Amino acid sequence: MDFSKALIAIDGSPHSEHALEVGLALARKLGAEVGLVTVVDPAPAVTLEAGAPSVDILTMLRQEAVQCLEKARAAAAGLRVSTHQREGAPAPEILHAATQWGASIIVVGSHGRTGLSRLFMGSTAENVARHADVPVLVTRLAGAKG
């Protein structure tokens, strides 16, 4: 079984920071290449603004995504890393990134920025786990509410 390419999905939440930590540890153990993916989701901004999101909000979200990827890239020092910034609904975009990049495993947090704490896992994590063609590692942040 091939685990040479680990795609780690990050959204800037403490849960995904934990997923990053676990994913990087795994990649170091396996000598795997790392892909970091973050998805800018314009949908919440659209709801907030009752229409198309203003350029300012999207620009801000895109800048946040760049920072999120750069911070994660720094944490992955010493590993072979590529970053993937996408736009759209998070789960399908993570899955597309996995296919396009040729991921052999996907790492996600059990919850994220939007996940409801009462749920066993958030909808992005669940949809990725349900639909991925490769194994999915769902990490849980011990002691976290949600």
Smallest distance, ligand AMP to C-beta of residue 18, A = 8
Instruction: Tell me the residue number closest to ligand AMP, measured at CB.
Output: 122
Under a CB-based contact definition with an 8 Å cutoff, are residues 38 and 85 in contact? Answer: yes
Q: What residues line the site for ligand AMP (CB under 6 A)?
A: 9-11, 13, 15-16, 19, 37-39, 41, 90, 94, 108-109, 111-112, 114-115, 122-125
Dist CA 9 CA 98 (whole Å) = 10
Closer CB to ligand AMP, 6 or 125, in the complex = 125
Q: 30 or 92: whose CB is closer to ligand AMP?
A: 92
User: Measured at the alpha carbon of residue 57, what is the angle toward residues 54 and 59, in degrees to the nearest 5?
Assistant: 105
The two tokens of residue 44 are: 């919440």
Nearer to ligand AMP, 30 or 89 (CB): 89
Q: Choose between 32 and 91: whose C-beta lies nearer to ligand AMP.
A: 91
Give the three-state DSSP class for 35.
strand
Closest CA to 103 of 23, 22, 21, 11: 23
Cβ 14 to ligand AMP, closest distance in Å? 9
Closest contact distance (angstroms) between CB of 77 and ligand AMP is 20
- Comparing CA positions, the residue from 104, 73, 99, 102 lying closest to residue 10 is 73
Shortest spacing between CB 12 and ligand AMP, in angstroms? 8
